[in-house]
Chains A and B, each alone.
With several copies, the nearest count.
Chain A
Amino acid sequence: MTVDAQPINTRDDIKLSNAQIAWRAAQDIADGAYVNLGIGFPEMVARYQPPGRQAIFHTENGILNFGEAPPPGEEDWDLINAGKKAVTLKPGAAFFHHADSFAMVRGGHLDVAILGAYQVAQNGDLANWRVGAKGVPAVGGAMDLVHGAKQVCVITEHVTKDGKPKLVEACTFPLTGVGCITRVYTSHAVIDIQDDRFVLREKLAAMSLEELQAMTGARLHLDGSVADLVVPQL
């Protein structure tokens, strides 16, 4: 077991950057997959599609197959994504209204949704919309997106900024959805959620299972061998 004065989650040599977490999540998206990426950090996943594969991105405000932001000054502010950022279209795009858009979500037509998280519980519960009762609550499409996609994944730091586990036995923050998450890509590991348990699939080679368990708020189960989490410099 590696012992170090500095907690592992603060050591940049044993931690993926956000770009690297996004890269790892992108590797699991099949060619032709229909994908919704949550606002913010999850949007980075679109940059790292493997060569030869093309995912089709859905934004809940009514576009399929949108692309990068246009050059500054060339924005059409009717052509935005769910984060209200200007986007462009790829060939084969389509527009539709909000009810049709959420029919795609709720009806199980998306292959993958990738969201951020405050907490993920071992039974698949997700908390990602508010941390307490103060301030102005805002939910957007988060509670819809956690239902319907064939795979609903989270990308996240493994622990909070002050070192608290984000993968927990039970969420303490208000829930976004119950039993909805199937896979979590963190700064340190790739973990599936199966039968109300965290099942470890990949971890950084530089850390031990015990070190990872110590950073995790619920028991990590094994189901066969654990692969090394290997990500390029980005």
Chain B
Amino acid sequence: MDKTIGSAAEAVSGIENGMTIMIGGFGGSGAPIELIHALIDKGVKNLTVINNNAGNGRIGIAAMIDAGMVKKMICSFPRSSDPRAFTDRYLAGEIELELVPQGTLAERIRAGGAGIPAFYTPTAYGTELANGKPIAEFDGRHYVQERWLKADVAIVKAHLADTYGNLTYNKAGRNFNPLMCMAATRTIAQVSKIVSAGGIDPEHVVTPGIFVDGVVEIPNPQQEEELIRAGVAYA
């Protein structure tokens, strides 16, 4: 068994129109830029994209939005240093937004991965983001019922992978990536290096390979922040 995939293009080849896609990263930290750009090259449409943010500048998720690929964003913070791509489409009514508090977003994704269809959280109780959601009282306090989030595909960025798909991450680039690995029918990770089975200490594995379907080596991945400062646009 070897989960290695030869190229980013091959890695995203199974992503089809209308799918729900989880994309890892928090802003540019841990964002799988090369897989996103391969998906733009493939050119699918009507995607629902789950990410903490909604793109920045003219690259990554912002470039997906610019290319008209995104029907709906599920995120906590659709702002950035250069949020034009999302903002323009949103204000024009051309893209849907499901705004989710950041911790609830993380927990809903984990719940999707863990087979928990719903849970209760104090977050958003009494606010407009709880509108229409069931409320329950436990031990004298009110909580909002939130549902799991799942996806057809997750594309994530990790640091090392072994051929079994065990993953480690780079610093705070971890963020949503391990959760999204759990919550998608098919999970593809771009990594800086693929090592043989046994090349990662079992104690240091962050995402066990059972959550990962394919790994593709991108030796020197681009950082969103650096691309934005360089004024790069992907189209």
| Interface size classification for chain A | 35 or more
| Docked complex Cα distance between A43 and B226 (Å) | 24
Chain B residues with Cβ below 8 Å from A144 are 101-104, 123
**A40 CB–B CB distance under 8 Å:** no
Chain B residues with Cβ below 8 Å from A94 are 166, 202, 205, 208-209
| Docked complex Cα distance between A91 and B113 (Å) | 25
Interface size on B, residues (CB 8 A): 76
Neighbour of B124 across the interface among A54, A79, A95, A143, CB < 8 A: A143
Pairwise interchain contact B76-A78, C-beta atoms closer than 8 A = no
Pairwise interchain contact A64-B123, C-beta atoms closer than 8 A = no
Neighbour of B198 across the interface among A92, A105, A175, CB < 8 A: A92
Neighbour of A96 across the interface among B99, B164, B200, B208, CB < 8 A: B208
Given A106-B121, A139-B101, A143-B129 in contact, is the A77-B1 Cβ separation under 8 Å?
Answer: no
| Docked complex Cα distance between A150 and B141 (Å) | 16
**A166 CB–B CB distance under 8 Å:** no
| Docked complex Cα distance between A15 and B209 (Å) | 39
Given A34-B210, A139-B77 in contact, is the A76-B171 Cβ separation under 8 Å?
Answer: yes
Given A61-B172, A77-B29, A140-B76 in contact, is the A95-B1 Cβ separation under 8 Å?
Answer: no
How would residues 173 to 187 of chain B score, 1 for a CB under 8 Å from any chain A CB and 0 otherwise?
111111100100000
Pairwise interchain contact A80-B172, C-beta atoms closer than 8 A = yes
| CB proximity of B226 to chain A, nearest CB, Å | 6
**A102 CB–B CB distance under 8 Å:** yes
**B79 CB–A CB distance under 8 Å:** yes
| CB proximity of A171 to chain B, nearest CB, Å | 10
| CB proximity of B143 to chain A, nearest CB, Å | 10
Pairwise interchain contact A107-B166, C-beta atoms closer than 8 A = no
Most B C-beta atoms less than 10 A away, residue of A34, A65, A89: A65
Chain A residues with Cβ below 8 Å from B162 are 92
Pairwise interchain contact A107-B99, C-beta atoms closer than 8 A = no
Pairwise interchain contact B28-A104, C-beta atoms closer than 8 A = no
| Docked complex Cα distance between A175 and B104 (Å) | 17
Pairwise interchain contact A98-B78, C-beta atoms closer than 8 A = no
**B64 CB–A CB distance under 8 Å:** no
**A47 CB–B CB distance under 8 Å:** no
Per the 8 Å Cβ criterion, residues 137-166 of A in contact with B are 137-144, 147-148
Chain B residues with Cβ below 8 Å from A31 are 1
Per the 8 Å Cβ criterion, residues 63-92 of B in contact with A are 76-81, 83, 86-87, 90-91
10 A-B residue pairs with Cβ-Cβ distance under 8 Å, sorted by A, are A92-B198, A98-B105, A99-B107, A99-B114, A107-B112, A109-B113, A136-B83, A140-B76, A143-B104, A174-B127
For the complex with contacts A109-B182, A175-B127, 19 further pairs of A-B residues with Cβ separation under 8 Å are: A32-B1, A58-B210, A77-B223, A78-B29, A78-B171, A94-B166, A94-B209, A95-B203, A97-B106, A98-B179, A103-B110, A105-B115, A109-B113, A136-B83, A136-B90, A144-B103, A144-B123, A147-B122, A176-B127
Using CB atoms and an 8 Å cutoff, list the residues of chain A in contact with chain B. Answer: 31-32, 34, 54, 56, 58-65, 75-80, 84, 89-110, 125, 135-144, 147-148, 174-178
Top 7 nearest A-B pairs (CB, nearest first) are: A102-B103, A91-B198, A92-B197, A106-B115, A144-B103, A178-B126, A103-B114
